[in-house]
Amino acid sequence: MKAGFLIAALAAATPIASSAQDATQPEIRAEQVAPGVHVLYGSGGNIGVSAGPDGVFLIDDQYAVMTPKISEALAKLAPEPPRFVLNTHWHGDHTGGNENLAAKGSLIVAHDNVRRRMSADQFSRFFDRTTPASPGKALPVVTFNDGVSFFLNGDEIRGAHVAHAHTDGDVFIQFRSANVLHTGDLVFAGRYPFIDLDSGGSVDGVIAAVDRMLALADDSTRIIPGHGDVTDKAGLAAYREMLATASGRVRELVKAGKSIEEVLAAQPNADYDERLSWDFITSERFARILYRDATESHPVR
């Protein structure tokens, strides 16, 4: 597990030079999940790819420093740079390559709130950290509200917005013919998720988003999570169950008048902690997110 990738994303103060290969960065591992549809694992959010006669369509682009390795991996799938990049949300480990790819001719597409958040400094109370606004050339040039469809490579690739979930600008993507879903950070596979309350996220919003994806999935759907390995409908259902159970336990403790210290001491999700706690979202951080979510008011969904 790459330590602190999202902390790095939130802290990314300056665009990182990407003209040279950076040997300190992990290699890109590509895996085909369906004919013409691939996932690229590297550093940051998992990248989804459609590659075929109409060119390359990319979902997310990790960090700026990864662009050369991503481009190298894509060159094995298709000769041209991506025509389109769809950002699943604004976080820097999913949008960090925007500027580099835009310079190669890619059209960057995202939800309205992605451009809005990337256009201004963003303060995270959770990390007590400010992410500066992105350079103009990194911003999405096409934005949408409810959803967007791309008709490419024999498929209909649908991005669907879900309100107030991981952030307030999330989309998940459905490849209708290939039967693949890319969840963005609505799903962290095999580990506790980060839910960015400071960016308009909410626990119930993530659960509602997962329910929408479950309704679209069948037993052969391949599901690319924002982080972690490709999963399936059963994995998605188990993740939903964990979210509902873990947040429900913390809400009960809040209802009983427990303080955050008492909730942490009670270890209400000890049965999940061993398997799902990791260096970025530890058991304690996850409990703090659930506690804050249960005690603070939320934007109306």
Q: By the criterion CB under 5 A, which residues form the site for Zn ion?
A: 91, 185
Q: For Zn ion, which is the closer residue by CB, 138 or 152?
A: 138
DSSP summary character for residue 280: S
Separation of alpha carbons 79 and 109, rounded Å: 21
The Cα-based distances of 35 to 29, 225, 226 in angstroms read 17, 18, 21
Q: For Zn ion, which is the closer residue by CB, 117 or 158?
A: 117
**CB of residue 91 vs Zn ion: minimum separation in angstroms?**
4
User: 186: which 2 tokens?
Assistant: 């609505």
**CB of residue 154 vs Zn ion: minimum separation in angstroms?**
30
**CB of residue 226 vs Zn ion: minimum separation in angstroms?**
6
Q: 231 and 275 in contact (C-beta within 8 Å)?
A: no
Q: 81 and 71 in contact (C-beta within 8 Å)?
A: yes
Of residues 103, 159, 69, 269, the one with CA closest to residue 289: 269
Separation of alpha carbons 2 and 5, rounded Å: 6
**CB of residue 39 vs Zn ion: minimum separation in angstroms?**
17
N residues, the chain: 301
DSSP symbols for 202-242: -HHHHHHHHHHHHHH--TT-EEE-SBSS-B-HHHHHHHHHH
**CB of residue 185 vs Zn ion: minimum separation in angstroms?**
4
Q: For Zn ion, which is the closer residue by CB, 99 or 185?
A: 185
Question: Alpha carbon 139 to chain centroid distance?
Answer: 17
Q: For Zn ion, which is the closer residue by CB, 90 or 175?
A: 90
Q: For Zn ion, which is the closer residue by CB, 1 or 256?
A: 1
DSSP summary character for residue 188: B
Q: For Zn ion, which is the closer residue by CB, 185 or 293?
A: 185
**CB of residue 98 vs Zn ion: minimum separation in angstroms?**
14
